[in-house]
Structure 1
C-alpha cells in the first residue's frame, strides 16, 4: 500500500486508535542533533548522549535515526551497527514533537497522525525559525513505511499528550489551549479533535506543565501513564520552589479524576532533580541567533525524571542529579519489574530544552502491508 494523506475521514471512523507507550513496539524513531544554536560545541556532546540513548533502546527494538545529509557519515560512524541511519532532513532533533503519532487498527494495520507544527508557538514564543523541514518529516516516514497519514486540523506536539491505550488521555491546558497553538479553541473543541483522531474517550486536563518548560507545558515532562490506571509524576517537596505549586495542582487534578474505565488514578511520585541551571561554560558554546530561543548562564532548566522512554524490554531514563538518580531509578524499576531500567547521562539533552522522551517516538507493533 502506498502512503496516503487522508483529511476527510477520521481515524476513529476507520477503526484506528493510539496505543499506550508501554504496549509492544516494532521500532523507535529518533533524529540526529546538529543545530549550533540549540546544542553546544557543534552538538558533539549532545551527539554522544543521543548515541547512548539509541544504543540502550536498540537492546529492546529496532531504532531508526534520521540524519541530515551533511551529518550522515558522522552519525553512521558514531552509532552502533544495529541502529539504522536514514536520511531525513530536519530543523532540529525533537522526534517526539515533529514525528508521527502512530495509530493501530484491530486488524493489525498501522497508520499515523500528521499534526500541524509551528515550532512550539510559531512567531509568538516559538523556539526557532524556520521549521519547514520538520513539517515534512511525518510525510517522509509515511512514505518509507507505506502507511496512511491522517492530517489533523490542530497544532499539537507528541510530547503534549500521553494515553493509556484504554481510552484515557493526559494533557495540559497550558499547552493545548495556548493561543500560540490553537487560538480560539476551547476544551470541548479540542476534546472532539482528540476523540476523532486518537479514539480516546476521556481527557484528564492538568493546569500546567513543569516550571519554565519552554514547550509551554508538555505533559510528558510532568507525568505519564506507566500502566492502565497508574501515573508517574514529577514531585517537588520544596514549598519555596515554584514547581511545588504546579505539582500540587497536578496531583489534585489526577486524584480527583477517573479514567475512561471509571478507575481512580494511582499516582507514583518521582523526585524532581536539582533545581538545575545552565553553567557559564555550557552557555558559551551555543550560537546566539535572533531566530532561536536563548540559552543563558543561570537559566533554570525544566529537569524531570518522568521524561523517560518505555521500550519493549527496557526503560531508558535520564541521569540528571547524582543526589537523586538512584532513588528515581529504583522507583522506576519497581514500576517496570519486567523491564530493565537503563540510566543515561542526559544533561546535554536537557541543555537543548528536552530529554529522552522528547527525542524518541515509538512505532507500535503492527502487521504492515507489504
Structure 2
C-alpha cells in the first residue's frame, strides 16, 4: 500500500483523444497536458499513453523527456483508468485493476479504458489483482499506514455499485489496498461529474496530516458539504489512533461551462512528484495563497504552479490525469 509521497519510478499519463469530451478545446487540453508532463519530467520519468493514430501528434508537442507508449484508449484520465499500484512488505510491486464503467456511465465510450489497467500491468509484467468494486483511483487516497479517505457519493454510487453496503465496500478496499481504517466524507464538489472524487476535496500530505478545501462563502453551494467534511476530519482518528493535523486550502471563485455547470476547481487536486509538487492555478486571487500553503506543507519539495482552466473543461485536474508508479527495491 504505497503512499503518493513515497519514491516514484515513473508517472503515467494519457494523451487527450476524445473529441466528444473536449470539443473545440481539444488542442488547448493537449497543450496543458504537455506542460504538466514536462513539469513532472523535471522530477521523475513520465510515460505518456498515446492512441496509435496520434503518435506523431503527441511526439511533436511533448518534450524528448517524455516516453510515449502506443496503446488503445478511450479518454485521458490515468488516475482513474491506470492501475492502483501496490508494494508488498518485501518491496515487490503489483497493481489493482478496479472495474471501470465510465464514472457510472457518465461517458458511455469507455471500453478501451476499462482494459487500460490490465494492459499497463501486462506491459510492466507485474501481477494483476482484479477487484469487483466499480471505482477509480481518484475516489481513493491512502496514508501508507492503513488509513483510506473516500467520499460516500462516489463509492456507494448506485450507477457504480448498486445495492452495495458501506461494509461490503470496506471489505473490498481492505482486501485490495491493505487498509484497516476508513474516513468517509459526505460528498465532493458541486457539478463534479464523478459524483464525489475525494481527490478534489481532501488528501494526505503524509501520515497524520490531511490537506482539505475550505469555503468561507455561506452562499456557495459547496459551503455546507465542505464544512461537514472538515468536521468529519477533525473528529477522525487514523489507523495509528492519531488525531489528524489539518491543512486547509482556499476555494477559488466559481467558473462555469457554457451550459452553466460549475468547473471543479480545486487546489487539492495536485500531483506529488519526487521532490516536487505540480499544482493548478486558475488565474484567481487565491492562487498565491494556495501556493504558499503547499510550500509550507511540503518544505522539501519544489512547488510548480501551472494554469489549468483548459484542463478543467474536460472534467478534472492535475491529480486526475496522473498516476504514480512507486519505486521498488531493487529498482
Distance 1:42 1:140 in 2: 28
CA distance in 2, matches of 1:79, 1:311: 18
Equivalent residue of 2:72, what SS?
coil
| In structure 2, distance between residues paired with 1:42 and 1:86 | 24
Pick one of 81, 93, 109 that aligns with 2:92: 109
Cα deviation, 1:38-83, whole Å, max 9, x if unaligned, reads 1132611000100011011101111000000111111011111011
| 1:271 paired to 2:250 | yes
**In the alignment, structure 1 residue 99 sits paired with structure 2 residue 82:** yes
Partner residue, 2:117: 138
Kept in 1: contact 2:25–2:310 (CA 8 A):
no
User: What residue is the counterpart of 2:301 in the other structure?
Assistant: 339
Return the alpha-carbon distance in structure 1 between the equivalents of residues 160 and 3 of structure 2: 24
TM alignment of 1:239-254, pairs within 5 A: 239-254=218-233
- How many Å separate the matches in 1 of 2:178 and 2:111? 29
Q: Aligned match of 2:288 in 301, 319, 326? A: 326
Q: How many residues align?
A: 331
TM-score of the two chains, using structure 2 as the length reference: 0.98
Matches within 5 A, 1:303-314: 303-314=265-276
Alpha-carbon distance in structure 2 between the residues aligned to 1:119 and 1:247: 26
CA contact (8 A) 1:147 1:368 kept: no
Aligned match of 2:71: 88
Q: Does 1:47 align with 2:30?
A: yes
Mark the runs of 5 or more structure 1 residues left unpaired by the alignment.
1-17, 279-295
1:206 aligns with 2:185: yes
Unaligned runs of 5+ in 2: none
Q: Does 1:120 align with 2:103?
A: yes
Write the distance in 1 (CA, Å) between the matches of 2:34 and 2:275.
18
Partner of 1:151: 130
Q: Which residue of 2 aligns with 1:185?
A: 164
Q: CA deviation at 1:298?
A: 2.9
Query: Match for 1:298 among 256, 260, 263?
Result: 260
- Whether 2:323 is the aligned partner of 1:361: answer yes
Task: Give 1:333 deviation, angstroms.
Answer: 0.5
Moved over 2 A (4+): 296-299
Quick check: 1:238 aligned with 2:217?
A: yes
Higher mean C-alpha displacement, 314-323 vs 36-45 = 36-45
Q: 1-side partners of 2:23 and 2:212: how far apart?
A: 29
Give, in whole Å, the separation in 2 of the partners of 1:257 and 1:112: 28
Q: Which of the numbers 8, 12, 36 marks the counterpart of 2:19?
A: 36
Structure 1 equivalent of residue 196 of structure 2: 217
SS for the counterpart of 1:120 is: helix
Tell whether the 8 Å contact from 1:273 to 1:321 is kept in structure 2 after alignment.
Answer: no
> Shift of residue 148 of structure 1?
0.2
Specify the alignment match of 1:27 in structure 2. Answer: 10
1:368 Cα deviation (Å)?
A: 6.8
Instruction: State which drifts further: 319-328 or 73-82.
Output: 319-328
Q: State the match for 2:42 in structure 1.
A: 59
Equivalent position SS for 1:300: coil
Residue of structure 1 in register with 2:176 after alignment? 197
Note if 1:348 corresponds to 2:327: no
Give me the whole-angstrom Cα distance separating, in 2, the residues matched to 1:345 and 1:33.
Answer: 17
Please say if residues 66 and 88 of structure 1, whose CA atoms lie closer than 8 Å, have aligned partners that are also in contact: yes
Q: How does 1:273-292 map to 2 (within 5 A)?
A: 273-278=252-257
TM-score normalized with structure 1 length: 0.88
Q: Which residue of 1 aligns with 2:141?
A: 162
How large is the Cα RMSD of the aligned pairs? 1.2
